[in-house]
Structure 1
Amino acid sequence: MTKYSPIPAPTQSPSTADQEFRYQQLEQQLLAGIQQQRWRLGERLPSIRDLCQQFEASKATVQHALQRLEAQGLLEARPKSGFYVTLRPGAISPPQARNRLEPPQPVNVSQLLLDIMRRSAAFDILPGRPSGDLPPGIVALNRSIGRALRRQRGDDYLYYDDPAGLPALREQLCLHLSRRGCQLPVDQLAITSGCQHALFLALMACCKAGDVVAVESPGFYGLLQLLEQLQLQVIEIPSPTSTGMDPDALEAALARWPIRACIVSPAFSTPGGALMPDAHRQRLLTLAEQHDMAMIEDDIYADTAFATPPDPLKALDQHGRVILCSSFSKSLSRDLRLGWISGGRWHARILHLKLVTQLASSRSLQQGVADFLEDGSFSSHLRRQKYLLREQRDRLLAALRIWPGNHRISTPEGGLAVWLELDQDADTLTLYPQALQAGVVITPGPLFSASGQFHHCLRLSFAHDWTPSRLQALQTLSGLLVP
Structure 2
Amino acid sequence: MGSRRTDMTSFIYEQLAQRFSEQIHTGLWRPQQRLPSIRQLSEEFGVAKITVQHALHKLEASGLVEARPRSGYFVCQRSVPAVPSSKRLLNTQPSLVNMPLIFQDIMARSAAFDLCPGAPVNEPASHLLQLNRHIGRAMRQQLHHKALYYTGPQGNPALREQIALLYQGRNCPLDAEALCITAGCQNSLFLALMSCCEPGDTVAVESPAFYGVLQLLQQLRLKVVEIPVSPTLGLKAADLEAVVRKWPVKACVITASFATPTGASIPGEEKRQLVALAEQYGLTLIEDDIYGDLGFHFRPEPLKAFDKNGNVILCSSISKSLSRDLRLGWIAGGRHHDKIVHLKLINQLASGQAMQEGLASFMAEGHYKRHLLQYRQQLKRQRDDLLKALNALWQFPFRYTVPEGGIALWLELQKQQDTARYYQPLLMENIVITPGALFSTQGHFNNYLRLSFAHPATGPRRQALARLAGVFAGRG
Q: Normalized against structure 2, the TM-score is what?
A: 0.83
Partner in structure 1 of residue 425 of structure 2: 434
Instruction: Report SS of the residue matched to 1:302.
Output: coil
Deviations 1:367-417 (A, max 9, x none): 000011000100110000011000000011112224132211000000110
Instruction: Report SS of the residue matched to 2:230.
Output: coil
Q: 37, 60, 63: which one pairs with 1:87?
A: 63
1:58-457 counterparts in 2 under 5 A? 73=57, 87=63, 89=65, 90-91=75-76, 92-98=78-84, 99=86, 100-101=89-90, 102-128=92-118, 130=120, 132-402=122-392, 403-457=394-448
- Contact (CA 8 Å) 1:219, 1:449: kept in 2 or not? yes
Max radius of gyration: which structure? 1
How much does 1:294 deviate? 0.4
How much does 1:435 deviate? 2.2
CA distance in 1, matches of 2:59, 2:247: 48
Sequence identity percentage: 49
Which stretch has the larger CA shift, 308-317 or 127-136?
Answer: 127-136
How much does 1:183 deviate? 0.8
* CA 1:150–1:441: 2 relative to 1, 3 Å: same
Which stretch has the larger CA shift, 177-186 or 125-134?
Answer: 125-134
CA distance in 2, matches of 1:420, 1:450: 18
Which residue identity lines up with residue 254 of structure 2 in the other structure? V
* CA 1:75–1:222: 2 relative to 1, 3 Å: closer
Partner in structure 2 of residue 463 of structure 1: 454
How much does 1:75 deviate? 11
- Contact (CA 8 Å) 1:195, 1:300: kept in 2 or not? yes
CA distance in 2, matches of 1:236, 1:191: 29
How much does 1:169 deviate? 0.3
Instruction: Report SS of the residue matched to 1:275.
Output: coil
Q: Normalized against structure 1, the TM-score is what?
A: 0.81
* CA 1:124–1:398: 2 relative to 1, 3 Å: same
Instruction: Report SS of the residue matched to 2:96.
Output: coil
Deviation beyond 6 Å, 4+ runs, structure 1: 69-72
CA distance in 2, matches of 1:129, 1:200: 32
Deviations 1:173-219 (A, max 9, x none): 11111000111221111100000000000000000000000001001
Structure 2 unaligned residues grouped into runs of 5+: 1-52, 66-74
Structure 1 unaligned residues grouped into runs of 5+: 1-68, 77-84
Instruction: Report SS of the residue matched to 1:177.
Output: helix
CA distance in 2, matches of 1:74, 1:322: 32
Instruction: Report SS of the residue matched to 1:191.
Output: strand
How much does 1:277 deviate? 1.1
Deviations 1:221-278 (A, max 9, x none): 0001100111000000101110111322211111110000001010000001001012
* CA 1:373–1:288: 2 relative to 1, 3 Å: same
CA distance in 2, matches of 1:147, 1:130: 29
Q: How many residues align?
A: 407
CA distance in 2, matches of 1:171, 1:179: 13
Partner in structure 1 of residue 34 of structure 2: none
Deviations 1:12-56 (A, max 9, x none): xxxxxxxxxxxxxxxxxxxxxxxxxxxxxxxxxxxxxxxxxxxxx
Which residue identity lines up with residue 399 of structure 1 in the other structure? A
CA distance in 1, matches of 2:340, 2:54: 48
* CA 1:288–1:146: 2 relative to 1, 3 Å: same
Which stretch has the larger CA shift, 429-438 or 238-247?
Answer: 429-438
Instruction: Report SS of the residue matched to 2:409.
Output: strand
How much does 1:154 deviate? 4.2
Deviations 1:452-474 (A, max 9, x none): 11010010000012221111110
* CA 1:411–1:132: 2 relative to 1, 3 Å: closer
CA distance in 1, matches of 2:454, 2:176: 32
Instruction: Report SS of the residue matched to 1:213.
Output: strand
CA distance in 2, matches of 1:134, 1:284: 40
* CA 1:260–1:93: 2 relative to 1, 3 Å: same
Instruction: Report SS of the residue matched to 2:258.
Output: strand
CA distance in 1, matches of 2:59, 2:81: 24
